[in-house]
Structure 1
Amino acid sequence: MSIEIKIPSVGESVREAVLAEWFKQDGDTVRKDDPLFVIETDKVTLEVVAEADGVLKILVAAGETVVIGAVVGSLETAGAAAKAPEKPKAEAPPKPEKTPAPEPAAPAAKAPAPAAPAMTSAPVRPAAGISLAPSVRRLIAEKNLDVSKIQGTGPGGRISKGDVLLYLEKAPAGIPDAPVVPAGQPPSAAMEERKPMTPIRKRIAERLLESKQSTAMLTTFNEIDMARAMEIRSLYKEAFAKRHGVSLGFMSFFVKACVEALKEVPEINAFIDGSDIVYHNYQHIGVAVGTPRGLVVPVIRHVERMSFAQVEKAIVEYVAKIKDNRLELADLEGGTFTVSNGGVYGSLLSTPILNMPQSGILGMHKIEKRPMVIEDQIVIRPMMYVALSYDHRIVDGKGAVTFLKRIKEFVENPERMALEV
């Protein structure tokens, strides 16, 4: 029996996707729910898993653009059943040969003498459990390299083209075709590399450009004394984690502060639709999350109904979905305001760009100890710069400054959010 493997639908507005990478090889036996491949659209990255046990037949190579619903492979379930009993017999004889496999990883195996036989028998097909992108596979074949000697730094230890180039740069003279370069000088192949933009990166570029061209964006700044928030977090983080099963982070302080401030300045929570202004009596807060493929903004819905713990749990769940390529298009839609934390990357100050059609975005930054004047005394305080970018067509300067001042007041005195004052 043959089961078709199709590109799944990820939303009505998505018509095509890029088959970014196969995790299995043609002819491999796979189990139900094993990840088969990953697709990229202009909005999400999604892993597709096997529907049943079977032998994989690949019909479309990695890197191809395919329409939603296209058949990219099949699973031969009858073949898998027939192969299952044969596998132990086929693998039993080679087992003694596999025992020396750890030798190349041992320090003694790095001597030039054993390197030669490793090169002569270097397989282009990767060892079991190692999946390679087509470009990486071609480069390894061209240079006749032993893939087991290359350390992968990609997700799950996968080997990237950069890993291969770095291996060649540091390779001993015994490796065939290894480029000879002066000390400290990178090989010419590593000096320049051209790659097509991924669908997500294209979409990010389009939306950022559209935001700059279509809105009257302006940014206002303030700074927040994080001492009280840090104190509360330190006092209750163990009890909080024990009771709710999730850590207490600063993001929930800011998300909850945004909810209260948006209630006071509703135009920042509104959209422009033609000649109308659409106000929202709810707060759907997007939280920007950086990924290797680009920035995504999953939306936490109805934050006005949520506790600190529920906000933290929602963020953790989204991070897990992003990491496992399980983020759905519905997770990215419907936001009314966005919070972006550049501080996790060490940013001291920046100007966030609006996430259209929203009218406001809050930028958080790193916490840094600075001298401050408090009651005519110079003291050291943990300070954070915050930035609010807003659409000046709908939000006046007074509203923007008021909003940011309220964020400051709530975060510097978190008890006010609990007391709603």
Structure 2
Amino acid sequence: MSTEVTVPVLGESITEATLGEWLKKPGDAVKADEPIASLETDKVSIEVPSPVAGVMGQQVVKVGDTVNVGAVIASIEAGGAVSAPTSAAVSATAGQQAPAAERTGDGLSPTLSPSVRRLVLEKGVDPSTIKGSGKDGRLTRDDVLGAPAAAPKSEPSPAAASVTAAAPIAVTGERGEERVRITRLRQTVARRLKEAQNTAALLTTFNDVDMTAVIEARTKYKDLFEKKHGVRLGFMGFFVKAACQALRDIPNVNAQIDGDEIVYHDYADISVAVSAPNGLVVPVIRDAQEMSVAQIEKTIGDFGARAKAGTLTMDDMKGGTFTISNGGVFGSLMSTPIINPPQSAVLGLHRIEDRAVVRDGQVVVRPMMYLALSYDHRLIDGREAVTFLVALKNAIEDPTRLLIDL
């Protein structure tokens, strides 16, 4: 008896997805609700669970195929174990189990995603020694990047030594290529960014901000903050809070164009870019204007953890009235971010570095950060953009303004 596995409901207005990878092979034992495949939608990757326990049967579609909601993609056969070899074969191989590298061909678990698998091979690490932080303990790119490289063996066997010695001879100088299908998420990001460039009158305005006061406040209160709220005190909480106040004062930055109308929002749903195994995703902090710094930090921390685990949902990334992207965590000094339609503006944060500035007629060294506001000039005038950045700058350089609503 077999049970069909169908594409689940993917979210509002989402009718199709792309099969990203199979997490089980035909013949593998499967538990009820265990993921057997991952689907890529326009915004997130979604794992398809097995409806019953049994054995993985026929896989109806191939990796890269487009599937509709409700379509059959595989079957689960009745039974609780993988088909076993004959008893003679079992006895012949007892005590002589092949090492993991021989059992899987390339030494990697078959449940690794292609990008993680490639990274494991590049770093030369043993995936069985790494604790996965993803769903059901699966490895993510961050897990592999944080793992130490495998140490060379001190006394290689003669056979291994001969292989090692022969390796340089195998290098021919030929250049290889690899073709990888563009993921559905990357295709969507590319299309939306190009649409923004083609439709909006994009312009970027810059300013810089002295981070001294925020750094001092963070240093002074970070331990008490984490003890009370159970989350680390970062810089994003300050910037989101300051952005909400600036958006209230300059409402056009928080608005959007809809046909021949302007839609103003009396709330601030802040989209924040966080890192996920397959790239950056942009979940939304709902009603951020009503939140404390602690609530904002908790929400961002939760987004980050769920992004790594691959459990963010379509609803998490739906909507948003304004975006903050922090390229500084990757070392970016300055950038011109592109707006996320239908939003009209995006704030780019960058790395903090000591620079010489003039204060009260004296040249001093201060921790400075460049700010970049990209905006749709059809809706937002230069004066409004500059005023927004100045309001943000004033709040960060004097955080007391955030407490007394100035």
Normalised-by-shorter TM-score class: 0.7 to 0.9
Query: Superposed, which structure 2 residues align to 1:19-418 within 5 Å?
Result: 19-59=19-59, 60-76=61-77, 78-80=78-80, 83=81, 96-98=95-97, 101=99, 122=102, 129-131=109-111, 156=138, 174=163, 180-182=169-171, 187-189=174-176, 192-418=177-403
Q: Which amino acid aligns with 1:96?
A: G
Going from structure 1 to structure 2, the CA distance change for 1:289 and 1:158 (only over 3 Å counts) comes to closer
What is the total number of aligned residue pairs between the two structures? Answer: 374
Query: Are the aligned partners of 2:284 and 2:318 in contact in 1 as well (CA < 8 Å)?
Result: yes
Mapped to 1, the partners of 2:8 and 2:337 lie a distance apart of 33
Mapped to 2, the partners of 1:158 and 1:135 lie a distance apart of 9
Mapped to 2, the partners of 1:136 and 1:253 lie a distance apart of 34
1:34 is displaced (CA, Å) by: 2.5
1:298 is displaced (CA, Å) by: 0.7
The TM-score, its normalising length taken from structure 1, stands at 0.79
1:193 is displaced (CA, Å) by: 2.1
Mapped to 2, the partners of 1:135 and 1:225 lie a distance apart of 39
Mapped to 2, the partners of 1:174 and 1:86 lie a distance apart of 34
Q: Which amino acid aligns with 2:11?
A: G
1:151 is displaced (CA, Å) by: 5.0
Going from structure 1 to structure 2, the CA distance change for 1:269 and 1:27 (only over 3 Å counts) comes to same
1:12-51 deviation per Cα after TM superposition (whole angstroms, max 9, x unaligned)? 3322211111222211112233322211112211222333
Query: Are the aligned partners of 1:130 and 1:158 in contact in 2 as well (CA < 8 Å)?
Result: no
Query: Are the aligned partners of 1:363 and 1:386 in contact in 2 as well (CA < 8 Å)?
Result: yes
Query: Are the aligned partners of 1:287 and 1:298 in contact in 2 as well (CA < 8 Å)?
Result: yes
Query: Are the aligned partners of 2:140 and 2:308 in contact in 1 as well (CA < 8 Å)?
Result: no
Query: Are the aligned partners of 1:8 and 1:68 in contact in 2 as well (CA < 8 Å)?
Result: yes
**2:144 matched to which residue of 1?**
none
Query: Are the aligned partners of 1:20 and 1:62 in contact in 2 as well (CA < 8 Å)?
Result: yes
1:136 is displaced (CA, Å) by: 12
1:280 is displaced (CA, Å) by: 0.4
1:130 is displaced (CA, Å) by: 3.6
Mapped to 2, the partners of 1:158 and 1:384 lie a distance apart of 31
| Secondary structure at the counterpart of residue 249 of structure 1 | coil
Identity fraction in percent: 47
1:267-312 deviation per Cα after TM superposition (whole angstroms, max 9, x unaligned)? 1111111111110010000001233433321111000111111111
Mapped to 2, the partners of 1:90 and 1:84 lie a distance apart of 17
Going from structure 1 to structure 2, the CA distance change for 1:21 and 1:314 (only over 3 Å counts) comes to same
Going from structure 1 to structure 2, the CA distance change for 1:132 and 1:273 (only over 3 Å counts) comes to closer
1:178 is displaced (CA, Å) by: 7.7
1:337 is displaced (CA, Å) by: 0.3
Structure 1, gaps ≥5 residues long: 105-121, 140-148, 160-170
Query: Are the aligned partners of 2:356 and 2:366 in contact in 1 as well (CA < 8 Å)?
Result: yes
Query: Are the aligned partners of 2:324 and 2:348 in contact in 1 as well (CA < 8 Å)?
Result: yes
Mapped to 2, the partners of 1:28 and 1:303 lie a distance apart of 46
Query: Are the aligned partners of 2:209 and 2:397 in contact in 1 as well (CA < 8 Å)?
Result: yes
**1:5 matched to which residue of 2?**
5
Query: Are the aligned partners of 1:259 and 1:283 in contact in 2 as well (CA < 8 Å)?
Result: yes
Going from structure 1 to structure 2, the CA distance change for 1:126 and 1:50 (only over 3 Å counts) comes to farther
Q: Which amino acid aligns with 1:315?
A: I
| Secondary structure at the counterpart of residue 193 of structure 2 | helix
Going from structure 1 to structure 2, the CA distance change for 1:126 and 1:90 (only over 3 Å counts) comes to farther
1:133 is displaced (CA, Å) by: 7.0
Q: Which amino acid aligns with 1:44?
A: V
The TM-score, its normalising length taken from structure 2, stands at 0.82
Q: Which amino acid aligns with 1:207?
A: R
| Secondary structure at the counterpart of residue 4 of structure 1 | strand
Mapped to 2, the partners of 1:172 and 1:361 lie a distance apart of 56
Query: Are the aligned partners of 1:287 and 1:338 in contact in 2 as well (CA < 8 Å)?
Result: yes
Q: Which amino acid aligns with 2:37?
A: F
Going from structure 1 to structure 2, the CA distance change for 1:72 and 1:404 (only over 3 Å counts) comes to same
1:247 is displaced (CA, Å) by: 0.7
Mapped to 2, the partners of 1:326 and 1:74 lie a distance apart of 24
1:244 is displaced (CA, Å) by: 1.0
Mapped to 1, the partners of 2:205 and 2:14 lie a distance apart of 36
Structure 2, gaps ≥5 residues long: 119-123, 142-159
Q: Which amino acid aligns with 1:312?
A: E
Mapped to 2, the partners of 1:66 and 1:208 lie a distance apart of 25
Q: Which amino acid aligns with 2:95?
A: P
